[in-house]
Amino acid sequence: MTGVISLLPEGRPGLLAPLLSGAWLSGGSEDLARYLAEGGYAPLPAPDRLLDRIAAAGLRGRGGAGFPAAVKIRAVRDAPGPPVVVANGEEGEPGSVKDRWLLRHRPHMVLDGLRLAAAMTGAERGCVYLSDARAERAVRRALAERPPELHIDVVRTEHAYVAGEETAVVRRIDGGPALPTAKPPRPFESGVGGAPTLVANVETLARVALTHSRPEAADDVAGAHLLTLAGARGAAALVEVPVGTHLKVLADLCGHGRAEAVLMGGLFGGLHGAGWTDLPLDHESLTAAGGALGCGALYFLHPEDCPVAVAGEATAYLAAQSARQCGVCVSGTGALAGTLTSVARGTANHDTTDQLHRWSRQLPGRGACGLLDAAARIVATLLAHFPDRVDAHRGSACPACADPAPEDGRRFRVPMP
Ligand code: SF4
């Protein structure tokens, strides 16, 4: 069962709360009249005023890297040539649903944010990039309800782990495959059709829109996060929480109170054990703990869940999702997944784990995108935080570890609420 929950204090503006009562909904999507009445699509601001407000509030991008939004917008604005702005709604992480949910239910808010991004950068052309059919219908309906000031294309892609990576987004919009390219150039230098391009996550754009309609609450808007919570046991939920909420509170929220580990940031932030419950949800704390908030998906492990099995399934999925463009990624993710299989089968020895240690140090940063880094971090954190659980597999197969681990990421998938 999947629910939608807001933990924001009463009266604080958020992305979920207005829709939870159902009053804002019209045909399953937000009602345009209500959105307008609450300050949506307000007259365009002086571009620098909104940009300065976003910078002062410290809004970070919500696609995964957590880069300061204002820095990215300024880089596009200051690059030579007429820019393009893209609302990126293709969430490749199997455990995340927030972006599809926003596009399905709050398309006006995302389009409002895209319009504001265009105003801040000087773009006259925009694009909504997505893979979900229901989200596409909602966006097209919203565009028909309120025709935008700028030209907006809707581009559909195949759902895949790397399809939302920003260079893959540009390549697909330009008519190619949704596969990453080597950087530089980054899209802000040369993106869609060679133009400087802002590729912004749809939650980031929704927060830009809310910052514009509720300027007095800019800090609260920038400090709240949409998260997808799940686990092998308990329920799943899409939640909106204030920054600083402890991970233990999030686990308790949907029946994972007994959890003793968490896979963080979708598949990007690694596995974390002892002490994770004390971590506050903020970019800096999670990074300092060796994790990453990434797309905001958290997968909780209970005592009876095997971290080796979870790591095995995650790396098998990543190996299967490799775009097979970089030799080191093809061989590296395959080797990590295959070696974890030998750990799970009970055939690993000290040499095997030494090899995993070496690879997890050597592989990060060597692929064109973050997929190889994600696989290496899962292995590094498994070895660092669960040495006893890894050792317990020596000499005998673990019943919890499927043989071979499924490659389809089914363990991490969350049904749409
Ligand atoms: S690192 Fe892997 S997934 Fe990323 S572009 Fe290279 S081959 Fe593709």
The answer to whether residue 27 scores a pLDDT higher than 80 is: no
The reply to whether ligand 1 has any atom less than 6 angstroms from the CB of 332 is no
The reply to whether ligand 1 has any atom less than 6 angstroms from the CB of 162 is yes
pLDDT band per the 50, 70, 90 thresholds, residue 22: low
Distance from the CA of 326 to the center of ligand 1, in angstroms?
5
The answer to whether residue 346 scores a pLDDT higher than 90 is: no
Across all residues in the chain, what is the average pLDDT?
92
State which of 179, 183, 326 you would mutate to test the pocket of ligand 1, scoring each by most atoms of that ligand within 8 A of its C-beta: 326
What architecture is domain 13-213? Answer: 3-Layer(aba) Sandwich (3.40)
pLDDT band per the 50, 70, 90 thresholds, residue 26: low
Q: What is the per-residue pLDDT across 250-276, written as a single tens digit (0 to 9) for each?
A: 999 988 989 999 999 999 999 999 888
User: What was the pLDDT predicted at 404?
Assistant: 77
Q: What is the per-residue pLDDT across 83-133, written as a single tens digit (0 to 9) for each?
A: 999 999 999 999 999 999 999 999 999 999 999 999 999 999 999 999 999
Distance from the CA of 373 to the center of ligand 1, in angstroms?
10
User: What was the pLDDT predicted at 10?
Assistant: 87
Nearest to 205 by CA among 115, 302, 271, 324: 115
Q: Which two tokens stand for residue 4?
A: 């939608």
The reply to whether ligand 1 has any atom less than 6 angstroms from the CB of 151 is no
pLDDT band per the 50, 70, 90 thresholds, residue 348: confident
CATH of domain 222-301: 3.10.20.600
Q: Domain-by-domain residue ranges, the chain? A: 13-213, 222-301, 307-412
State which of 322, 336, 366 you would mutate to test the pocket of ligand 1, scoring each by most atoms of that ligand within 8 A of its C-beta: 322
The answer to whether residue 63 scores a pLDDT higher than 80 is: yes
* Residue 88: partners with Cβ closer than 8 Å, 6 or more residues away: 63, 99, 129, 164, 166, 169, 199, 200, 201, 202
If DSSP codes are grouped into helix, strand and coil, which group holds residue 88? Answer: strand
The reply to whether ligand 1 has any atom less than 6 angstroms from the CB of 111 is no
The reply to whether ligand 1 has any atom less than 6 angstroms from the CB of 371 is yes
- The DSSP call for residue 127 is E
Q: 383 versus 416: which is more confidently predicted? A: 383
Distance from the CA of 305 to the center of ligand 1, in angstroms?
30
- CA-CA distances (angstroms) from residue 323 to 147, 312, 316, 350, 364? 37, 19, 14, 31, 16
The answer to whether residue 25 scores a pLDDT higher than 80 is: no
Nearest CA to ligand 1 atom 4: 369
370-374 long-range contacts, CB within 8 A, separation 24+: 370/64, 370/165, 370/268, 371/161, 371/162, 371/318, 371/321, 371/322, 371/323, 371/329, 371/333, 372/322, 372/326, 372/328, 372/329, 372/332, 372/333, 373/268, 374/266, 374/267, 374/268, 374/318
The answer to whether residue 184 scores a pLDDT higher than 70 is: yes
Averaged pLDDT, 141-169: 95
CATH of domain 307-412: 1.20.1440.230
Residues 230, 414: contact at Cβ < 8 Å?
A: yes
Atom of ligand 1 nearest to the CA of 323: 8
Nearest CA to ligand 1 atom 8: 323
